[in-house]
Structure 1
Amino acid sequence: MENNQRDFAYENVMQLDDSQTSSRKFIANVFLWMFIALGLSAFTAYWFAHDVNLLTTLIDVNTGHRTGLGTVVMFSPFAFILVMSFGINRISTPVLIFLFLAFSAVMGMSLSFIFLAYTSASIFGVFVTASVVFGVMAIGGYVTNKDLTSFGGLMVMGLVGIIIASFANMFLKSEGLDKAITYISVAVFVGLTAYDVQKLKRIGAGLEYGSAAAGKMAIMGALTLYLDFINLFLSLLRLFGRRR
């Protein structure tokens, strides 16, 4: 999945005197929701991959092709992202949380397919590697005093390029281009992790912690970092995963 959520509408923002404390609390909340989402996705992916009855609802074991439900599951995460992004100022915080958790579960269902292509050991190994890389870049983005705005702009442009190249390669079917896209994807999502964490840190400094706006922004921030991590993980898996 190579979509990422960039810009949100931030309203009702109040500046606090103790902006650093507010920022730390906000970032902690963002990562809490991100970890909850990743845990839900991991549980759902493993459950569907190892329960034959559930797996057959997503894939036809006779043909190896996706079922109708499997196709819906593969593409429905995009719908969740659009609804959450464009509806953030109209829907309540509880509804936004529900949509985020539902999105995480559906993403887990779609990720269950990786267990059919790669060994469980390599999936776990790549997950640990992606976690370490993500953690290092997240810390770097949080503690650095350098403004990463321009760097983030380049990463967003790279993301757009990846999407366009991936779409073109659906028709070209070039293995060389596919490999190049994967390497570039790793670099882009590593860079976006640092940029997004710094951006969220600054947003948190301008929010009143505990307000409705802060709650919504924490969910949307968690969505952004979740997508950074998942895309980084899938890119590394394509490079280093051991196929069955």
Structure 2
Amino acid sequence: MNDFNRAYSPGPTGQTMDMSVNEGLRSFMLGVYNKMALGLLLTAALAYAFGALVPESVTLTLLTGPIGLVIMFAPLAILLLSGFVMKNPSPTAANLVYWSVVSLIGVGMGAIVYVYARQPDGMLIVSKAFLTTAIAFGGLSLYGYTTKRDLSGLGVFLIMGVIGVIVASVLNMFIFKSSMFHMVISVVGLLVFAGLTAYDTQRLKNMYFQIAGNARAMAVATTFGALSLYLDFVNMFQFLLAIMSGRD
């Protein structure tokens, strides 16, 4: 924080450091957003391929039944396992986690394409949900980047919200099977991940000032930062899609 304060101190020295810090921060955040965008592009390509291009028998085999459940919960398992095992991950290991999660989510989201592509105006609803998510995500991330308010205090509550949404979703999937409960979960989930978008953006911005100059740490932070924002975006999209279409 001392380096951060000096960077924004008045006078010629402060202005010079301010320019250097800003350029480094912009480069770091641009790397995060670029990697996130590549992840979304791969997810969209895989979702379309498994939802519309491969034979229907292959899609139903992969996305329903036991295999479908494995694909659905595998990203969560990878995230939890990596959190316990990878105490000091290398850039290669971070990339392996990132692209594994992105690929599995892409295959799993083939179910969305499969269902909506067979409904009147289904893909139009998907397009509207994606565009709305992109606009909302951009605004929330910009807020997290520019706000002077410290959002760190929200972190615990947002993580608790994520856990609650996951538990409620699993219970509703296997026990309650209530469309009304699913809609409530979708609204709450949308709000939670909207908050996480701003929170994660500010967290990444603050992290930069702690690891600037450490190339290995920067590479790992770029990848896991992209993963955080990618998950925020994907979850916002899925919850918003459920709200807009009224579907589970």
Query: Would you call these one fold, judging by a TM-score over 0.5?
Result: yes
CA change 1:174–1:70 in 2 (3 A) is closer
Q: Quote the residue 1:117 is aligned against.
A: 115
Counterpart AA for 1:29: G
State the partner residue of 2:57. 56
- TM-score, normalisation: structure 2: 0.81
**Mapped contact 1:183–1:235 kept (Cα < 8 A):** yes
1:127–1:208 distance in 2 versus 1, CA, 3 Å: same
Q: Structure 2: how far apart are the matches of 1:96 and 1:115?
A: 29
- Residues 161 and 67 of structure 1: CA distance in aligned 2, closer, same or farther (over 3 Å): closer
Q: In the alignment, residue 196 of structure 2 is paired with which amino acid?
A: L
Q: Does 1:160 align with 2:178?
A: no
Correspondence for 2:44: 42
Q: Which amino acid aligns with 1:108?
A: G
Mark the runs of 5 or more structure 2 residues left unpaired by the alignment: 8-16, 117-121
**Per the alignment, do residues 76 and 161 of structure 1 end up closer, same or farther by CA in structure 2, a change over 3 Å counting?**
closer
> Kindly tell me: are residues 206 and 23 of structure 1, through their superposed partners in 2, closer, same or farther at Cα, counting changes over 3 Å?
farther
Alignment RMSD (CA, Å):
2.4
Alignment of 1:228 with 2:238, yes or no, is: no
CA–CA distance in structure 1, aligned partners of residues 161 and 76 of structure 2: 20
Tell me which residue corresponds to 2:12: none
**Residues 1:84 and 1:36: Cα distance change in structure 2 (over 3 Å):** farther
Matching of residues 62-101 of structure 1 within 5 Å: 66=64, 68-101=66-99
Letter matched to residue 137 of structure 1: L
Any conservation in 2 of the 1:58–1:68 contact (CA below 8 Å)? no
Q: CA deviation at 1:90?
A: 4.7
TM-score, scaled relative to structure 1 = 0.82
Counterpart mapping for 1:1-244 below 5 A: 18=17, 19-53=21-55, 55-60=56-61, 66=64, 68-118=66-116, 119-170=122-173, 171-209=175-213, 211-241=215-245
* Distance change >3 Å, CA 35–CA 182, structure 1 → 2: same
Deviation, 1:83, is 4.0
C-alpha contact (below 8 Å) 1:22/1:207 kept by paired residues: no
SS of 2:60's partner is coil
Q: In structure 1, what is the equivalent of residue 10 of structure 2?
A: none
Kept in 2: contact 1:88–1:216 (CA 8 A): no
TM-aligned CA distance change 1:20 to 1:87, over 3 Å:
farther
Quote how far apart the aligned CAs of 1:60 are. 4.0
Structure 1 residue matching 2:58: 3-state secondary structure: coil
The one-letter code sitting in structure 1 at the alignment partner of 2:233 is: F
- The answer to which structure has the higher helix fraction is 2
Q: Is the 8 A contact 1:148 1:198 kept in 2?
A: yes
Rate the CA distance shift 1:95–1:163 in 2: closer, same or farther, 3 A: closer
- Cα distance in 2 for residues equivalent to 1:47 and 1:86: 33
| 8 Å CA contact 1:45, 1:112 repeated in 2 | yes
- Is the 8 Å Cα contact of residues 57 and 70 (structure 1) preserved in structure 2? no
